[in-house]
Homo-oligomer: A and B are copies of this chain.
Amino acid sequence: MSTSPRADGVDPASAPFHELVGFAAYTELAGFGLLAALSVDAADLATRQALADGAERALARQRALVALVAPKGGPTSGTAAQVMAPFDGVLAEFDTRTRTADWAEGLLTGVVGHGVAQDFCRALATGVPGSQGKDLRAVLDRLAHPSATPGEAEPILVLGRAAAADDVLASRLALWGRRVVGEALNLVTGQLDSRPMLAGLAADAARAAGADVGNGGRSWLVTRLTGEHTRRMDRLRLAA
């Protein structure tokens, strides 16, 4: 592989890593916005605080991701906008197709959509070689809440309580979850179709897992993401 510098100064060998960090950072910023907005409309102060805390944690994860590609010791704010720029607007179609006026459905959209995106990033990170891969996987795993997977803790508690108290809501949320996971899988596989570097990471990740890479690792990836989604719905006690 050539190592001549690109216009943005990123070493070509590191470009797939940079692109994955950009997508991961962008989805964390989106998760922040979604949880924060739901926080404002929460039914009571305890829920409002819980979702605000969850939003804050998403932003902390975003900062840790951006720090992976920021100049050592420098500020990360300029790097954040720069690394996320290629992904600006990629959630527009997902957002449109999962729009809902129902607060609990909106929260489930966040949990499922954000969850699939995080699982996608974790899966592709296993295809990043060397210390960059090791550092990225550490960041993606590190900020996990003691009682749940990263970013999920408060929404899962809030949604689980609401669904447990209301069978009709639980059925409606189960249905909504199936719709959202379909859209989320479309979103992330669409990224593979349009971004060869991410597709390369997916193939490398499938190879590292000893899976079939005949279709670029897509089958392996979708199977893995679907399995994680089933476990997520189980934690919510909702039918996947």
Contact = CB atoms under 8 A, between A and B. Distances in A.
Interface in A111-141: none
A39 interface: yes
A53 B37 contact: no
Given A36-B40, A49-B80, 19 more contacts: A29-B48, A33-B39, A33-B40, A33-B48, A36-B36, A36-B37, A36-B39, A44-B81, A45-B81, A45-B84, A45-B88, A46-B77, A49-B84, A50-B77, A52-B59, A53-B59, A55-B55, A56-B56, A56-B59
A32 interface: yes
Given A29-B48, A48-B29, A84-B45, A53 B77 contact: yes
Interface residues of A, number: 26
A85 interface: yes
Interface in A31-84: 32-33, 36-37, 39-40, 44-46, 48-50, 52-53, 55-56, 59-60, 77-78, 80-81, 84
* Those 9 A-B pairs whose CB atoms lie nearest each other, nearest first: A36-B36, A33-B40, A46-B81, A45-B81, A49-B80, A56-B59, A45-B88, A45-B84, A56-B56
